[in-house]
Structure 1
């Protein structure tokens, strides 16, 4: 690996170990085995390096979400069983990548002051909404209508972020996959939302 790749790997370790706000240039240099000056040379700033490391890590997590969404296509399960299996995998991933999710939440706050970071996070959210909507509706990503992405993808993303926040803050009381499914059933039945 070169200095750039070493810096990305070191920054990612720091994000996972220390979080966004507590990671210093010195920490990244120590974790990567590269000089502090190399951060400026390759990325321009600590923030830009942390942005790049977070986007890379979230991209990898997005691939895992895509694999989890493939559970929806299991012909041996009912649609409800497939959706519950999806949620089991998503919740498992939240627990497995806890520190990455915490760093992502910190980045959301930092994005208020960083247009570049905001653009990267927005691009990731848009891609995530589109991918989730495509998998949940069974329509290929390139064919899914923007209205479906806003409705289905946005709701799934909102549900995921809410479940994730509960698992990060209070894992003992956070909803299980079964709870998510039962909650959706109860809400749709209560308000007559089933077509």
Structure 2
């Protein structure tokens, strides 16, 4: 097996630090120690701590999202209440099992608020996120979903997932489960249709 180069070791070390310490608390020394390379190697290979951490964060989130999508794709419930409950049970279990990655996804958003370059990259990924959320909500293949459904259902599902994740991360004892989420959505629809 080939020995990992400094660039790859730094990326792996940064990913490890993100999981252990988070974005803001990870230092250059932490990354260099985790990668077993000099601190100067970060500047040489990535330009800055921020550039390396952003790349590590995107790569970690891509890997994490691929795993979540694979789990979701195995759901065999047809569209309807049973699928809704199955999706939310899976998402909530994923939140419980992967709190550091969910936190990292929020940290990415906060970093994008401070960095125009990162904000541009983040914005480029937004259409894919809303399309994935539309597929999650409808049970349809992402490529078959029309633009209007992506713009409406996908965007609202993304907002719902983000809000539920924040509740589960801040106070899991009072966070809503699938039944409460469904009841809340029914209540919202009733208030719109009233």
Please state which band the TM-score falls in when normalised by the shorter chain: 0.7 to 0.9
Deviation, structure 1 residue 21: 0.9
Are residues 81 and 125 of structure 1, via their aligned partners in 2, closer, same or farther at CA, if it must alter by over 3 Å?
same
Asked if residue 153 in structure 1 is aligned to residue 160 in structure 2, the reply is no
**Alpha carbons 1:68, 1:90 under 8 Å: kept:** no
Are residues 83 and 68 of structure 1, via their aligned partners in 2, closer, same or farther at CA, if it must alter by over 3 Å?
farther
Unaligned runs of 5+ in 1: none
Asked if residue 70 in structure 1 is aligned to residue 87 in structure 2, the reply is no
Aligned residue-pair number: 191
**Alpha carbons 1:71, 1:82 under 8 Å: kept:** no
Task: Give, in whole Å, the separation in 1 of the partners of 2:189 and 2:68.
Answer: 25
Deviation, structure 1 residue 164: 0.6
Are residues 99 and 139 of structure 1, via their aligned partners in 2, closer, same or farther at CA, if it must alter by over 3 Å?
closer
Q: Which of the pair has the greater relative contact order for Cα pairs under 8 Å at 6+ separation? A: 1
Deviation, structure 1 residue 169: 0.9
Are residues 117 and 71 of structure 1, via their aligned partners in 2, closer, same or farther at CA, if it must alter by over 3 Å?
same
For 1:57, the equivalent position in structure 2 comes to 60
For 2:192, the equivalent position in structure 1 comes to 191
TM-score normalized with structure 2 length: 0.87
Are residues 47 and 19 of structure 1, via their aligned partners in 2, closer, same or farther at CA, if it must alter by over 3 Å?
same
**Alpha carbons 1:69, 1:132 under 8 Å: kept:** no
Are residues 67 and 185 of structure 1, via their aligned partners in 2, closer, same or farther at CA, if it must alter by over 3 Å?
farther
Task: Give, in whole Å, the separation in 1 of the partners of 2:96 and 2:122.
Answer: 21
Asked if residue 39 in structure 1 is aligned to residue 39 in structure 2, the reply is no
Residues 21-36 of structure 1: pairs in structure 2 closer than 5 A: 21-36=24-39
For 1:181, the equivalent position in structure 2 comes to 182
TM-score normalized with structure 1 length: 0.87
Are residues 87 and 154 of structure 1, via their aligned partners in 2, closer, same or farther at CA, if it must alter by over 3 Å?
same
